[in-house]
């Protein structure tokens, strides 16, 4: 299996691929893995395993609250790779979402080796641009690890082409300028961004940020190759009275959203 195979299967079924995000260590390492497994049970095909970071520039208040708890719990890089392996065992493809400083601190070679050994398929680096990623691209190309860069509504056509030429797996299209989090309505900028990106790349394009309901998923699935949901799952866990209740609700939301991915 590979990220590409997920998008190929979704295309054959006339739907968008369903991608979910959840941070390791929230509310505990063990419980975060149970939540991720429930997301896959509900229909998530690519799981973004979040590596908590103390200065998460792209994360909104919901995910920040969760990652703060994870950091207070002392989450480690080994916890991240163990979570990857546990989710890979469910049959889903796994990408680590990490800020660049964490990878650089661990060491690029060591990070890639550990991720490959855990069965991970890709890494999403929200704060790393292709201009500054020569060593990263060399190592990931050599080790056949997909690397995912981001584009946003303010990205120039030249920037979008550079990201398309530099990425492997898919392109992450941020639906708006800002941080992650649930929104009452999606920005119309997202569809225009996907249209612009298709002019310069054949890679699948997945849209994230602000997608919190099945209706949001249905709207994005009409024009994107993949739909990314994160804060909506985190909010459930923040608000649930017990972890068992959270798991039931997370699985149910994933099922509803997966059904909404059909075009």
Give the whole-angstrom CA distance, residue 190 versus residue 152: 8
Predicted pLDDT at 82: 98
Residue 59 known to be catalytic: yes
Q: How many residues does the chain have?
A: 263
Angle between helices 231-239 and 243-259 (to 10 degrees): 150
**Under 8 Å between Cβ of 37 and 86:** yes
* Ordered per-residue pLDDT tens for the chain, 263 residues: 689 999 999 999 999 999 999 999 999 999 999 999 999 999 999 999 999 999 887 788 999 999 999 999 999 999 999 999 999 999 999 999 999 999 999 999 999 999 999 999 999 999 999 999 999 999 999 999 999 999 999 999 999 999 999 999 999 999 864 444 444 446 678 999 999 999 999 999 999 988 999 999 999 999 999 999 999 999 999 999 999 999 999 999 999 999 999 98
Structure tokens, 256 = 């509803």
Give residue 177's pLDDT. 45
User: Contact, 208 vs 230, CB < 8 A?
Assistant: yes
Q: What's the confidence (pLDDT) of residue 188?
A: 76
What whole-number distance in Å separates Cα of residue 229 and Cα of residue 172?
12
- What pLDDT does 189 receive? 85
| Given the residues 13, 30, 31, 48, the one annotated as active site | 48
pLDDT given at position 175: 83
- Contact call for residues 181 and 211 (beta carbons, < 8 A): no
The pLDDT of residue 183 is 43
The Cα–Cα gap between 262 and 213 comes to 14
- Say which residues have a Cβ less than 8 Å from residue 68's Cβ, sequence separation at least 6: none
Catalytic residue among 13, 45, 59, 225: 59
Confidence (pLDDT) at 181: 41
Q: Which domains does the chain have, with CATH numbers?
A: 3-149+224-259 (3.20.20.70)
Question: Which tokens go with 181?
Answer: 């989090």
Task: Look at residue 242 in the predicted model and tell me its pLDDT.
Answer: 98
Closest C-alpha among 35, 47, 4 to residue 204? 4
């Amino acid at each position: 299996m590979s990220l590409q195979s997920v998008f190929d299967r979704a295309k054959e079924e006339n739907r968008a691929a369903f991608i979910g995000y959840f941070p390791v260590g929230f509310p505990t390492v063990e419980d975060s893995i149970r939540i991720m497994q429930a997301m896959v049970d509900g229909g998530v095909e690519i799981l973004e395993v979040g590596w908590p970071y103390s200065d998460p520039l792209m994360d909104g208040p919901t995910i920040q609250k969760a990652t703060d708890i994870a950091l207070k719990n002392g989450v480690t890089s080994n916890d991240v790779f163990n979570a990857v392996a546990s989710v890979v065992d469910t049959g889903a493809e796994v990408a680590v979402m990490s800020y660049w400083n964490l990878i650089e601190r661990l060491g690029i070679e060591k990070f890639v080796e550990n991720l490959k050994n855990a069965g991970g398929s890709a890494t999403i680096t929200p704060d790393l641009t292709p201009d500054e990623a020569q060593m990263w691209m060399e190592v990931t190309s050599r080790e056949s690890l997909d690397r995912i860069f981001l584009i946003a509504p303010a990205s120039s056509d030249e920037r979008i082409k550079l990201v398309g030429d530099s990425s492997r797996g898919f392109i992450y299209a941020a639906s708006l300028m800002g941080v992650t989090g649930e929104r009452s309505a999606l920005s119309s900028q997202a569809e225009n961004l996907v249209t612009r990106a298709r002019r310069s790349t054949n890679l699948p394009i997945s849209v994230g940020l602000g997608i919190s309901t099945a209706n949001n998923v249905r709207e994005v699935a009409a024009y994107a190759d993949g739909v990314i949901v994160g804060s909506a799952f985190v909010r459930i866990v923040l608000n649930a009275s017990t972890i068992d209740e959270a798991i039931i609700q997370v699985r149910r939301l994933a099922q509803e959203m997966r059904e909404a991915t059909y075009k």
